[in-house]
Amino acid sequence: MTETETGTAPTGTPPTGIAPRTGSGARVELAGIVKTYGDVRAVDDVSLTVEPGQFLTLLGASGSGKTTLLRIIAGFVEADGGRVVLDGRDISQVPVHRREIGMVFQNYALFPHLSVAANVAFPLEMRRVRRRDRAALVERALEAVQLAGYGRRSPKELSGGQQQRVALARAIVARPPLLLMDEPLGALDRRLREAMQIEIRRLSRELGLTVINVTHDQEEALTMSDRIALLAGGRLVQYGTPEELYGLPNSEVTARFLGESNLFRGPVRHEGSEAVLALPHGRILVPGDARGEGEAVVVVRPSAIRIRPAGTGPSRPAVSEMPGVVSADIYAGDSRKVLVAGADGAELVVRCESGAPLPCAVGDEVVLEWDADSCHIIPGAA
């Protein structure tokens, strides 16, 4: 990918244009937001707070309510209940054009008959910024997205990545306290999408923007976000840092949606000093603070699992063990995805380094093992 194709400055080039401003973003509070369409609650009593300068991603599958929630924040959709509060001011009834919110759309929404500079200047014109001040503000915004000198071009002369940068420059040119993004990277190819993830994250930090981004792409959410709000069926399933949602899921919905997971369900029993998930096949040690005896759901991420041939001893003492048969070995570049059919018929996933030799082949009987502290018990499942 060349500099001309992406509009990206050479590696090591310091960013220019808009100077960093720490803490200039808004504080956003959503209190009991509800939106119904007929008998369907598209957004069901969602409450959360975004602190100034944070990057929040609304994550979820199609129909989860994330886009509806974003449009309520923007003012395009009126909520049936709840409040949207921006820096302590209730803006629930404020018209879209008076909310002073920047917006980036998936389809860029550039005016094809206007130049790049005129596209970027449009929000300034709508806010009646003096004409003599607009040119400098536009140039600074284009410099910030590393498109200095592109002002006279038309959108059709730009690549997809460059058009997205123009849309971003237009959204930030008036220095809004809040920037909303509706799946802005969905139309880009993988390499360009990954590059833009880094660029948008860099820019949001330099400007101190508060950003709320909508996506269904879990990798994008993990890469870009300070906080993730996972939605399903209109409800807020879990809200926290990427590390919290990935490492400490609070439900099966989170565990299954964010990353690959192996889930085991069964009663927890205490055998001496050990807490064990009792299963017909295998033996799973769970963290020592597992409370009581009863049904529990245990999550184990694929990268925590080791494989050994059946009939051999464990690689270390006090490990969980689960027998199975290798059903597939998938090369995935920097890792291998090994699928194992468990004795109970469930498919288990193991992630190994691609350069490390596997002690097995498809069709071999194996034992999966992992350490007790690699397990996470879903709260409330026990």
Residue 65, CA atoms < 13 Å, CB-side half-sphere: 23
Name the domain boundary from 254, 283, 311.
254
For the four alpha carbons of 256, 259, 265 and 268, in that order, the dihedral sign comes to: negative
Amino acid found at 67? T
How far is the CA of 212 from the CAs of 11, 29, 45, 59, 90, in angstroms? 28, 12, 18, 10, 18
Surface-to-core class of residue 333, CB atoms within 10 Å of its CB (0-12 exposed, 13-18 middle, 19+ buried) = exposed
SS3 content of the chain, % helix, strand, coil (to 5): 25, 35, 40
- Residues 103, 171: one domain? yes
Whether 382 maps to a domain, the answer reads no
The pTM of this model reads: 0.84
335 shares a domain with 204? no
Which CATH number is 278's domain given?
Answer: 2.40.50.100
345: left (phi over 0), alpha (psi -120 to 50) or beta: left
Residues 335 and 249 in one domain: no
Q: Are residues 37 and 178 in the same domain?
A: yes
Last residue of some domain: 190, 225, 254?
254
| Same domain assignment for residues 229 and 270 | no
Type of residue found at 3: E
CB atoms within 10 A of CB 24: 15
Label residue 26 exposed, middle or buried (CB < 10 Å: 0-12, 13-18, 19+).
buried
pLDDT tens series, the chain, 382 aa: 333 333 333 333 333 333 333 347 999 999 999 999 999 999 999 999 999 999 999 999 999 999 999 999 999 999 999 999 999 999 999 999 889 899 888 777 899 999 999 999 998 988 888 888 899 999 999 988 889 999 999 999 998 888 888 998 998 898 889 999 998 887 777 887 888 888 888 888 888 899 999 999 998 999 999 999 999 999 999 999 999 999 999 999 999 999 899 999 888 888 777 888 888 888 898 876 555 556 789 999 999 999 999 999 888 887 899 999 999 999 988 899 999 999 888 899 999 988 888 889 999 999 999 998 898 988 765 4
The tally of domains found in the chain comes to: 2
Q: Look at residues 211, 226, 254 and tell me which one is the last residue of a structural domain.
A: 254
- Is the domain of 74 the same as that of 195? yes
Task: Show the beta-strand stretches assigned E in the chain.
Answer: 28-37, 40-50, 55-59, 81-86, 89-90, 101-104, 178-182, 210-215, 227-232, 235-240, 262-271, 274-278, 283-286, 295-300, 306-309, 319-331, 335-342, 347-353, 365-371, 375-377
Shared domain for 168 and 314, answered yes or no, is: no
Please give the residue range of the domain that contains residue 276: 260-377
